[in-house]
């Protein structure tokens, strides 16, 4: 087993733990702001995972996906935060 294969397994486990934790917060989250924040974290982990896969396998096929995600990740969270009502607890 090469060094990068070992790195990919370790990184995959850590990305998986982070993604599962963010999903748990999306499900449990007491307010919609917690859910928006956890969705942002999940998206950031997805971006980092795509980039790590590119770095380990030595290709740049999904670099454009990273560009688009980093441009438009802002829309959902800002829409939720901007149009949230004061009494909206869920």
Is 9 a residue that touches another protein (CB under 8 A)? no
Q: Under rule CB under 8 A, which residues in 30-49 are in contact with another protein? A: 31, 33-34, 36-38, 40-41, 44-45, 47-49
Give the ranges where the chain is alpha helix by DSSP (H). 3-28, 32-57, 63-72, 74-82
- CA 63/CA 76 separation, integer angstroms: 22
CA angle 13, 63, 41 (to 5 degrees): 45
Site string for another protein, 57-86 (x = CB under 8 A): -xxx--xx-xx--xx-xx--xx-xxx-xxx
Q: Given the rule CB under 8 A, which residues bind another protein?
A: 2-4, 6-8, 10-12, 14-15, 17-22, 24-25, 31, 33-34, 36-38, 40-41, 44-45, 47-49, 51-52, 54-56, 58-60, 63-64, 66-67, 70-71, 73-74, 77-78, 80-82, 84-86, 88
């Amino acid at each position: 087993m090469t060094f990068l294969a070992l790195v990919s397994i370790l990184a995959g486990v850590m990305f998986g733990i982070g993604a599962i934790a963010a999903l748990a917060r999306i499900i449990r989250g007491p307010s919609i702001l917690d859910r928006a924040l956890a969705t942002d974290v999940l998206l950031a982990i997805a971006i980092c995972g795509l980039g790590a896969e590119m770095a380990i396998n030595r290709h740049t096929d999904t670099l454009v996906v990273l560009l688009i995600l980093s441009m438009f990740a802002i829309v959902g969270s800002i829409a939720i935060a901007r149009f949230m009502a004061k009494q909206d607890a869920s």
